[in-house]
Amino acid sequence: MHVLHIVGARPNFMKAAPVIRALGGRTIKQTLVHTGQHYDQNMSDVFFSQLELPAPDVNLGVGSGSHAQQTAEIMRRFEPVAHEYRPDVVLVYGDVNSTVAAALVCSKLLLPIGHVEAGLRSFDRTMPEEINRIVTDRLADLLFTPSEDGDENLLKEGVPATKIYRVGNVMIDSLIRLLPSAMRCSRNGFPDRYALVTLHRPSNVDDTASLKSILDALCEVNESLSVVFPVHPRTRQRIADLGTKVERLHLLEPTPYIEFLALQQRAAVVITDSGGIQEETTYLGVPCLTLRSNTERPVTVTVGTNVLVGQDRDKLISELGNVLEGKAKKGTVPPLWDGHAGERIAEIIAQL
């Protein structure tokens, strides 16, 4: 059997690593294709090294562009690769443009598709990732879900139950494996107690009024709780364009996975608009305030430590007050988030 993996962005790397490792113990040929959707060292190369991913067999070198340009270019460059390798199954991960582009190519070449992290829905089609999730799940032959809500969403959409496999969360596999390394990271240069911030979604970053409101709130938070903020390159440019003074915040360059995991594990609270971080904080038991009005990972709200605050500054400040007073939301770890999701996927593929 021949399995081809498609990755293109940091969340893909964290999800693919456990599956590649689990399949590596079997007599299965594997090919790794990196689309180059994230292409600078902090966004890509360091993650490959820390996750002990093999060097890609193929790098499409696509780079940045609009959603349409990037998706189209991935399709154009991946199609001859798919023709050449003709794998028995193609595994795609998450909800980035690389995922939907590869799924579209494979579906027209009649190559079986497995979608790792299937079934997640925010029910907000203004999010490009939601479109990617819906399309990929409609095309996939094997749908590997991380939680019960994923199964329910797919069944409601008419996906046959025989295609759905609840395996748990592969991102948590990577977290569990690398947490000991993260805990050995130096604390030098960081405050004893801090709020960790990530910010990259267009709805928060590209809207001037929204970004200014968030930055003003973070500066207010920083008066009572230090703010540590690894800044996405696009976010840094938007902040510079806005001209808001943020010198008192602890601004960092994009942070490699192990170092960022250390920052999460030690944080008093995480403020984010990222999907994966909602899951990681839930596993770590760290309070998470999500700057979105919805989430495709509702289990992090119903079971975990996540609270949706949207763009409501008053709610953000109120929830941070709860953290400072020791009244932060408590949570538990969802079922099957146990570090063995990659092994379950490998076992299912091996039985095909």
Residue 43: give its domain's CATH number.
3.40.50.2000
Query: Do 10 and 128 lie in a common domain?
Result: yes
Does a structural domain hold residue 216?
A: yes
Q: Is residue 186 part of a domain?
A: yes
Domain range for 57 is 2-169+337-350
Contact indicator for 35, 7 with CB cutoff of 8 Å: yes
Q: Is pLDDT at 29 greater than 60 in this prediction?
A: yes
Q: What is the pLDDT of residue 46?
A: 84
Instruction: With cut-offs at 50, 70 and 90, classify the pLDDT of residue 40.
Output: low
More confident of the two residues 213 and 113: 113
Taking the alpha carbons of 64, 199, 34, 111 in that order, is the dihedral positive or negative? negative
Task: For residues 250-273, give the mean pLDDT.
Answer: 95
Inside any domain, residue 331: no
The residues that are catalytic are 200
Q: Is residue 104 part of a domain?
A: yes
Structural domains of the chain, count: 2
Strand 2-7 with 89-93, pairing: parallel
The mean of the pLDDT values for the chain is: 94
Is residue 6 included in any domain, yes or no? yes
What does the alpha-carbon distance between residue 179 and residue 265 come to, in Å, rounded to a whole number? Answer: 9
Rg over alpha carbons for the chain, rounded to the nearest Å, is: 20
Measured distance CA(34)–CA(36) in Å, rounded: 6
Pair 186, 103 in one domain: no
In a domain, 22, yes or no: yes
Q: Would you say residue 330 lies in a domain?
A: no
Give residue 187's pLDDT: 84
Q: Are residues 287 and 205 in the same domain?
A: yes
Report the candidate in 333, 332, 305 with the shortest Cα–Cα distance to residue 319.
Answer: 305
